[in-house]
Amino acid sequence: MMKFENTERYTATDRIRVVSNEIIHEYPMLNAEDVMKISALCDIVFDDVDEDVIFRRYYYILLVIKDNLAVSKKVFDDMCKYCKDCLKDRLNRILYTDLERFFNGELENFPVIGDYYGNE
């Protein structure tokens, strides 16, 4: 499982560096530019990392690499190991279901998180 270091006291630059290292350690096949984009999107991590925090990081990875279907399918499969049936946030559960539909070919476009959280 990907490491999630507490980043609440880090500067934005240090947080991005730490998260980048965590992502590249787990997925060395990702290019540095994509990893930096992903890290900039990721939330601050506190001590209490739950499934919703894990889900959001995996979501951001998938969002950036969605056009690379081979790698994004592997990341999605990893996400399923940690997040399936245990997300507390209702909108994350809906988004997760739509990600499943996307990777199963039932949904044409990758689900964009703003479509779920922007309308509440």
Tokens of 70: 């081979």
Cα distance between residue 89 and residue 68, in whole Å = 28
- Cβ atoms of 26 and 42 within 8 Å: the answer is no
Cα distance between residue 58 and residue 62, in whole Å = 6
Q: State the pTM of this model.
A: 0.93
Tokens of 115: 């479509």
pLDDT in tens, 55-97: 999 999 999 999 999 999 999 999 999 888 889 999 999 999 9
Between vectors from CA 30 to CA 26 and to CA 33, what angle results, nearest 5°? 125
Domain residue spans of the chain: 12-117
Residue 9 pLDDT exceeds 70? yes
pLDDT in tens, 98-116: 999 999 999 999 999 888 8
In the Cβ-directed half-sphere of 87, how many Cα atoms lie within 13 Å?
Answer: 21
3-state secondary structure of 35: helix
Task: For the beta carbon of residue 4, count every other beta carbon within 10 angstroms.
Answer: 17
